[in-house]
Amino acid sequence: MNKILSLLLAALLLPASAAFAAVVEDWSGIASGNTGSFADSNGSKIDFAQEAGPDGGKALKLTTNMVQGGYCGIWHNITADLSKNGALQFKAKSSVPGDMQIALKDAFNVQYVSKVTISSKDWAVVQVPFSSFAKDPYYTPPDAIAGHPMDLSKTSGINFQPQMAGAAVVEIGAVEATGTASAAPAASSASTSSSTASTSSAAAPTGAGVLVLDFGSWDAKAGGTFQDSQGSTFVFNTKDNPNKKGQKYLTCTYELKQGGYCGMWCRTGGNDWKGVTLGGAKTLSLSIYDKDPISLGIAMQDKNNNQYVITLPTTKGSGKWETVTVNLADFTLDPYYTPPTAIKGAPKDFSSCSNFNFQPKTVGKGTFAVDSVIAR
């Protein structure tokens, strides 16, 4: 009788435990229609395939060769309710230890990102708490509904972006949702000033300041472009400024595909990599011209070679030059990319900056110009 009661008790306990974990993706149905890749235009490459995974299941195999300063990854469509759980969990291994970016698209079509470290060459469990996800500072889908906390009740996509420079093979087993949901949801973009700055939140610029970008002295090697493999494009040039004799401004024309990305990098201060010194500066002001409103992201690498990002307030698109100012304190660590020379864990230090990026976030075709970028 005691044996029967023990078996009955075990049978009752099993469903209760299983309720806290659910398979999100077992990698048994990878197809061209639900999975794709993206990479920079500098030569980085990534291939994906299905293979035998841990515990007798399937796995996703990512074979990458990322150039220094580049990026690559894969996107994958899913349909899942993750709102009742507290974390993603999967087994993973990598031929080269390093970081991997993960992105989720929530019920409001807003994209959120987090980063994990894959350090083992053997299968090891990786957990990613949903509380660690933050709004993607680079990309907001055109159909996103802003102003809401992260809602994973209808999660429609997951991206994986290994960040190991050089050749690497990353393998990911079945992805599960595990644990219980936290009582406090992730903050929305409307209430998170570190992701999206407001023009009024930054101090009014005063004084001459430091010229971060000098377009008048550029040569052909002072900047370059990057774009996805989905057809997004970005072209830049410099033109003589009729209102400022002997000076030039930057012009940019782009086409951003839905779900894609494009942009450019610039050398700060001139045509060498000495950069500029922003020690003591509090704000960054950009003089921007466009005829249609545009959402523009920018990035800077600090003295420790860590990259920091911010999304500028959407421009008015009035056909007139306007000044957009943000606080340097509001820049956040780039969740997508860590330069291979970065000193991880070092505090933000803009006393020396050598690299500056522009990345439009408004989907479709657009044109904008930048006259000056000044830190004060």
Q: Do 218 and 320 fall within a single domain?
A: yes
Does residue 159 lie in a domain region?
Answer: yes
Q: Is residue 6 part of a domain?
A: no
In a domain, 194, yes or no: no
Q: Do both 368 and 224 map to the same domain?
A: yes
CA distances from residue 78 to 106, 137, 336 in whole angstroms, order as listed: 11, 22, 21
Q: What is the pLDDT of residues 207-259, one digit of tens each?
A: 568 889 878 777 767 789 999 888 999 999 999 888 777 788 999 999 988 77
The letter for the amino acid at 241 is N
Least confident of 79-83, 203-207, 283-287: 203-207
What is the token pair recorded at 201? 């939140």
Single residue among 189, 217, 241 that ends a domain in this structure: 189
- 221 and 360 in a single domain? The answer is yes
240 found inside a domain: yes
- Which two tokens mark 331? 């820049």
The confidence score (pLDDT) of residue 32 equals 79
Q: Does residue 103 contact residue 111 with C-beta atoms inside 8 Å?
A: yes
pLDDT number for residue 271: 59
Task: Using the 3D structure, point to which of 189, 219, 253 is the last residue of a domain.
Answer: 189
Say yes or no: 152 and 260 in one domain: no
pLDDT of the residue at 273: 63
Domain co-membership, 80 together with 226: no
Confidence of residue 119 (pLDDT cuts 50, 70, 90): confident
The answer to whether residues 278 and 325 belong to one domain is yes
Average pLDDT over residues 37-59: 93
Return d(Cα 106, Cα 114) in angstroms, integer: 14
Same domain as 239, residue 137: no
Tell me, yes or no, whether 213 and 110 share the same domain: no
Q: Are residues 108 and 143 in the same domain?
A: yes
Cross-strand partners of 253: 235, 367
Q: What angle do CA 368, 370, 371 make, to 5 degrees?
A: 140
Is 60 exceeded by the pLDDT of residue 135?
yes
Domain end: 161, 189, 217, which one? 189
How far does Cα 181 stand from its chain's mean position?
Answer: 24
Question: Looking at the structure, do residues 218 and 349 belong to the same domain, yes or no?
Answer: yes
Question: Is 8 inside any structural domain?
Answer: no
When divided into structural domains, the chain yields a total of 2
Give the span between the Cα atoms of 344 and 232, in whole angstroms: 31
Instruction: Note whether residue 249 is domain-resident.
Output: yes
User: For residues 46-75, b (16+ Cβ closer than 10 Å) or e, as one string?
Assistant: bebeeeebbeeebbbbbbbbbeebbbbbbb
* C-alpha of 16 from chain center: 37
Over residues 21-49, the mean pLDDT reads 90
Is residue 4 a part of any domain in this protein?
A: no
Q: Is residue 2 in some structural domain?
A: no
136's tokens: 């993607």
- Domain extent, residue 161, equals 21-189
Find out whether 318 and 230 touch, Cβ atoms under 8 Å: no
Residues 203 and 178 in one domain: no
- The CATH number assigned to the domain holding 265 equals 2.60.120.430
How far apart, in Å, do the first and last CA atoms of the chain sit? 81
Task: Specify the pTM.
Answer: 0.53
Q: Do 131 and 44 fall into the same domain? A: yes
Pair of tokens at residue 175: 């992805």
Res. 200: pLDDT tops 50: no
